[in-house]
Each structure stands twice: as C-alpha cells, then as structure tokens.
C-alpha cells in the first residue's frame, strides 16, 4: 500500500498494539516498532508513549527496553511507578532491576488487523 498516511501511522499503531500485551507480560520498544511495520522506529515508540495523557488506559508500563530493563526517564518517579505497576501485574524483577525476558516477554502469535 502507499505511504501517504505514514506520518500518523506510528502513533496509531502504538495505541492499537500496546493494549494487546497481556498483563503479566512485557514487550520491547523494538518489537512494537517492528509490529508497526517500522523496525527502526524504537525511539519513536518511546516518544509516543511519553506523550500519552496520565489518565490513559493504554498499558504503557508493559513496554521496556531490549535489555529487559525499565528505561531511565527524565521525569522523576516515572520509572519507579512503572516497576510498581508491573509488579502488581505479577512481573518479578532480578536484584539488578531487570526482568527475565525468557519468562515474561510477550510472543504474539498473530496481530489483529
């Protein structure tokens, strides 16, 4: 298909894909970018999430970096909040603050259109 609508697609894709991540699982920025058909847009995914309103229903906390860690934020307390939300969903953290991706990484079998 043509690229004429590509400018807004990433944001829309993030809002469509992130809610598919089940509680108890996490996904990386790179994965979301790839599923959004923009494999090199991991940073952009982070930007979209950063722009979500605080009252959003989108489970932004389920997106972490490829190292299995919560990405550092400029906003104070944001990273701590993310960890708390994930722990409430059953995610466990190693002493170094990382998550065992072999156990918690989401492996979608198919992405709904």
Binding site for DNA (CB under 7 A): 28-31, 40-47, 49-50, 52, 60-61, 63, 65-67, 71-75, 78, 82, 96
Residue placing its CB nearer to DNA in the complex, 96 or 109: 96
Closest contact distance (angstroms) between CB of 60 and DNA is 4
**Residue 43: other Cβ atoms inside 10 A:** 11
Furthest-apart CA atoms within the chain: distance in Å = 47
Closest contact distance (angstroms) between CB of 109 and DNA is 20
Work out whether the CA dihedral 50, 10, 25, 66 comes out positive or negative: negative
Residue placing its CB nearer to DNA in the complex, 50 or 84: 50
Closest contact distance (angstroms) between CB of 28 and DNA is 4
**Strand (E) or helix (H) holding 28:** strand 27-28
Residue placing its CB nearer to DNA in the complex, 72 or 112: 72
């Amino acid at each position: 298909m043509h690229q004429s609508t590509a400018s807004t697609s990433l944001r829309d894709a993030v809002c469509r894909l992130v809610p598919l991540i089940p509680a108890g699982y996490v996904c990386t920025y790179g994965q979301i970018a790839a599923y959004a058909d923009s494999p090199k847009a991991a940073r952009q995914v982070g930007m979209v999430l950063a722009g979500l309103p605080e009252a959003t229903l989108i489970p932004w906390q389920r997106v972490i970096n490829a190292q299995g860690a919560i990405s550092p934020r400029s906003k104070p307390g944001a990273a701590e909040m993310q960890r708390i939300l994930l722990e409430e969903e059953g995610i466990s953290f190693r002493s170094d603050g990382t998550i065992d991706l072999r156990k918690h990484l989401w492996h979608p079998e198919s992405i709904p259109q």
